[in-house]
Amino acid sequence: MPNTTLAAAPPGAVAGRPPAFDNSYALLPEALFARLPPTPVSAPRLLRLNDALAAELGLDPAWLASPAGVAMLAGNHVPDGAEPIAQAYSGHQFGHFSPSLGDGRAILLGEVVTPAGERRDIQLKGSGPTPFSRRGDGRAALGPVLREYIVAEAMAALGIPTTRALAAVATGDHVFREHALPGAVLTRIAASHIRVGTFQYFAARRDAASLRALLDHAIARHDPAAADAENPALAFFEGVVARQASLVARWMLVGFIHGVMNTDNCAVSGETIDYGPCAFLDHYHPETVFSSIDHQGRYAFANQPAIAHWNLARLAEALLPLIGEDEAAAVEKAKAVLARFSPAFGAAWRAGLLAKVGLHDERPGDEELIQDLLARMAEQEADFTLAFRRLADAAEGDGEGFAVLFADPAAGRDWLARWQARIAADGVAPGARAAAMRAVNPAYIPRNHLVEEALAAAVQRDDLAPFEALLEVLARPFEDQPRRERYAEPPRPEQRVRATFCGT
């Protein structure tokens, strides 16, 4: 994936073509947002530009890397056609409702329509205070910006719906958290930034007109067929339920923990959004928590389906006035749709696990076999990613690499013998099975210790080489990459990351 890593282009460089904005959210009622420009920074410097994503969006990398482009990415210049706004939303944060959140450190510059006809938001994160900042400085530190860049692009390479990182720009200014840190701005691309909390904001205020306008906009953007349904609001809700069920299953199949599944971090588009205290499992355990602020384990790995269901119930509550005038009847209709989440998630999770262990058709006993594997992995502290990856090797006869991942290799060998007996019964060629397993079991994930290593080098030494090297590996997660074995290895005990932080 070609990318640009450089300082802002010198004066007189070829400027290229600026974005052609085509804004729709800014046409909605003013209650949905606040209009304001980003706050300029003192010395913008382009750290990384995602050339491939720029081309996908129909943007000109040459212009983005020019002084005018870097000024836009830093928030120092608002180009023609952009209509910068901070979006309003509410949110349940760790189960407690906050009626007024909104974009406290982000500005939606505008929208573009890609060559494929898809509408995408261009948002600047860390672009200064807004009316929703709640006494915050509206800025972002370099570490969290690079973390989001790494994990968002890794998720995209893994094939999981996600917001994307177009650029990272150093500001030349410091932000102050526990101590002074270098500042940065991330340019985030999204199918939209409409969240469950966006609907909650207007439902809580009983602003029926804004709620209806938001629904119509969301339907046009994400579920156009719902506009012709007998009950458009219910049809839209059905689409959100299906997307969230699929998304959370896909997270868990690669060992991802979002870390802060508040309703303001739940996008109705079905994209993963807001990479704060997120992390990937090293050794598997369903109760794993990384977020430093999740003291009760609300957002633990295994809790994610239940939390997604809870968040969707909050969306249903916000949509009730639009589902029907008879509240009791509307509740029953919404409950019927919400009840589809668990079966949909379960089907996606089971199908994904079958593929991960190389079973092409489900037979009696398969679910018990897989659940026994997960139980042994948890008890024996087997690495989640490597266990499934090395199981693909075992499909071709080499099972010892799998077994030694278990604290007691005998536990791995015992399970492996049962699995080998099962796969011998379906007649799939070993090479074909192994290839299919490697296509769904990544060799490389953004391992927490490698992410922290890259961030420390960038923040402490202004050294982006580890960041670049990690991104290059993660761009091809399903391919074995010679001489890059360390990127696939789990952390040594002293390297383990036990807590991640939101970065705000």
List the chain domain ranges. Answer: 25-193, 197-282+289-348, 351-438, 448-495
Q: What is the pLDDT of residues 251-284, one digit of tens each?
A: 999 999 999 999 999 999 999 999 989 999 999 9
Q: Residue 10: what pLDDT?
A: 36
Q: What is the pLDDT of residues 399-413, one digit of tens each?
A: 999 999 999 999 999
Q: Which residues are catalytic?
A: 264
H-helix or E-strand spanning residue 84 = none
DSSP class of residue 162? B
Q: Residue 504: what pLDDT?
A: 46
112, 201, 221 from 25: Cα distances, Å: 12, 16, 10
Tell me the C-alpha distance between 142 and 66, whole Å.
21
Low-confidence ranges of the chain (pLDDT < 50): 1-2, 4-14, 504
Largest CA distance in the chain: 69
Using only C-alpha atoms, the chain has a radius of gyration, in whole angstroms, of: 23
Q: Residue 290: what pLDDT?
A: 86
Around Cβ 16, how many Cβ atoms within 10 Å?
A: 16
Around Cβ 43, how many Cβ atoms within 10 Å?
A: 12
Tokens of 213: 């306008």
Q: What is the pLDDT of residues 277-304, one digit of tens each?
A: 999 999 999 999 988 888 888 999 999 9
Tell me the C-alpha distance between 371 and 272, whole Å.
27
Tokens of 384: 């989640």
| Pairing mode, strands 45-49 and 85-87 | unpaired
Around Cβ 427, how many Cβ atoms within 10 Å?
A: 7
Tell me the C-alpha distance between 434 and 55, whole Å.
34
Q: Residue 501: what pLDDT?
A: 73
DSSP tally for the chain: helices H, then strands E: 17, 12
